[in-house]
């Protein structure tokens, strides 16, 4: 039996990049998967690809901005009305989103945007899905932080690193509060993973230098690939990890130790 058969997962930011990889892995492991993203074309293309080979009834495409509380509530309702059984929420939508710059150069609106998607969005999605998880007496919430929280580095990403540190706090607070309801809340902290999505955070030469420097500092000295994260995502989504909660798992080739 597949590890996730009978479970339903929501993957935010699932239209491209790492979220798309998570959606694909969860689907292959037997779950039904809602691909949720703010970019409609990405949602449609991702769902179309994932739904091939007779899997269309286990894939749902939903365009939604995770910072919009009403839209998030409607998204969760659609998923719970479509499928039953244990629920998995992968709070993946996010990223540094802005070019790297000195801390005083960010505007208040830019700060709010980065915190909004990475942190507030994760809280809003959890808030919307927790009632259904409580009814089930079981649930899995997986937040995505970053090893940059442990490093406080690279310089130029203050809002992002602050938001991802907030994700760690949210993970621990929700694990403590929701544990008695059978809801497990964990986070994964990836290292540096090049993805095909066009990025504007670092100039291309800076991105290559960063990648090589980080790979050299890891215990396993190679650049991380998306597949490195899929096993841990499946594990935290499955019954195999039912006594694991409130944890942040660094999946980074041994770059940081805390
Ligand atoms: N790639 C890395 O090196 C790395 C490292 C550590 C953490 N992460 C985290 O992993 C997650 C995915 O990163 P990625 O590299 O695949 O980024 P990406 O930019 O390729 O994908 C992010 C996705 O989130 C979506 N999104 C953005 N704002 C949204 C919103 N308001 N509502 C819904 N969806 C929204 C985007 O459209 C996109 O599809 C992010 O949270 C990122 O911070 C990535």
125-172: pLDDT as tens digits: 999 999 999 999 999 999 999 999 999 999 999 999 999 999 999 999
Q: Does residue 15 have its Cβ closer than 6 Å to ligand 1?
A: yes
- The predicted model gives 47-64 an average pLDDT of 96
Predicted local distance difference test score (pLDDT) of residue 202? 83
Q: Is 160 a catalytic residue?
A: yes
252 lines ligand 1 (CB under 6 A): no
Mean of the pLDDT values across residues 179-200? 93
Write the CB contacts of 148 (distance below 8 Å, at least 6 apart in sequence).
154, 157, 160, 161, 164
What mean pLDDT do residues 248-254 have?
A: 98
pLDDT at 195 over 90: no
From the CA of 148, give the closest atom in ligand 1: 6
Angle at 78 between CA 73 and CA 80, to 5 degrees: 95
Does position 174 have pLDDT exceeding 80, yes or no?
A: yes
Region 178-191: mean pLDDT is 98
Q: How many Å apart are CA 166 and CA 170, to the nearest integer?
A: 6
Residue 56 pLDDT greater than 90, yes or no: yes
Q: Which atom of ligand 1 is nearest to the CA of 18?
A: 16
Averaged pLDDT, 57-73: 98
Instruction: Kindly report, residue by residue over 199-250, the tens digit of the pLDDT.
Output: 788 888 888 999 999 999 999 999 999 999 999 999 999 999 999 999 999 9
Q: Tell me how far apart the alpha carbons of residues 217 and 214 are, in angstroms, rounded to a whole number.
A: 5
Give 216's Cβ-side CA count (13 Å radius): 6
Whether the per-residue pLDDT at 1 is higher than 60: the answer is no
Average pLDDT of span 87-104: 97
- Measured in Å, residue 16 CA sits from the centre of ligand 1 at 8
How many other CB atoms sit within 10 Å of the CB of residue 236? 23
Structural domains in the chain plus CATH codes:
8-251 (3.40.50.720)
Q: For the chain, how many helices (H) and strands (E)?
A: 9, 7
17-49 pLDDT, tens digit each: 999 999 999 999 999 999 999 999 999 999 999
Q: Is 17 touching ligand 1 by the criterion CB < 6 Å? A: yes
């Amino acid at each position: 039996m597949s590890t996730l058969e009978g479970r339903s997962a929501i993957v935010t930011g699932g239209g491209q990049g790492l979220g798309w990889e998570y959606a694909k892995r969860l689907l292959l492991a037997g779950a039904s998967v809602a691909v949720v993203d703010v970019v409609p074309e990405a949602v449609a293309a991702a769902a179309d690809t994932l739904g091939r080979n007779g899997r269309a009834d286990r894939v749902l495409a939903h365009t939604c901005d995770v910072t919009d509380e009403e839209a998030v509530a409607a998204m969760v309702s659609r998923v719970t009305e479509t499928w039953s059984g244990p629920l998995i929420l992968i709070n993946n939508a996010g990223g540094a989103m802005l070019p790297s710059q000195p801390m005083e150069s960010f505007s208040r609106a830019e700060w709010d945007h980065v915190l909004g998607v990475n942190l507030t969005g994760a809280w809003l999605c959890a808030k919307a899905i927790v009632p259904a998880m409580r009814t089930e007496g079981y649930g899995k919430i997986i937040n995505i932080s970053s090893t940059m929280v442990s490093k406080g580095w690279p310089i130029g990403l203050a809002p992002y690193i602050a938001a991802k540190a907030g994700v760690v706090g949210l993970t621990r607070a929700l694990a403590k509060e929701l544990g008695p309801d059978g809801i497990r809340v964990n986070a994964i902290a990836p290292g540096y993973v090049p993805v095909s999505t066009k990025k504007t955070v670092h100039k291309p030469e800076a991105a290559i230098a960063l990648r090589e420097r980080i790979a050299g500092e890891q215990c396993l000295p190679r650049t991380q690939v998306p597949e490195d994260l899929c096993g841990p995502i499946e594990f935290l989504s499955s019954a195999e990890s039912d006594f694991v909660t409130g944890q942040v798992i660094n999946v980074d080739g041994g770059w940081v130790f805390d």
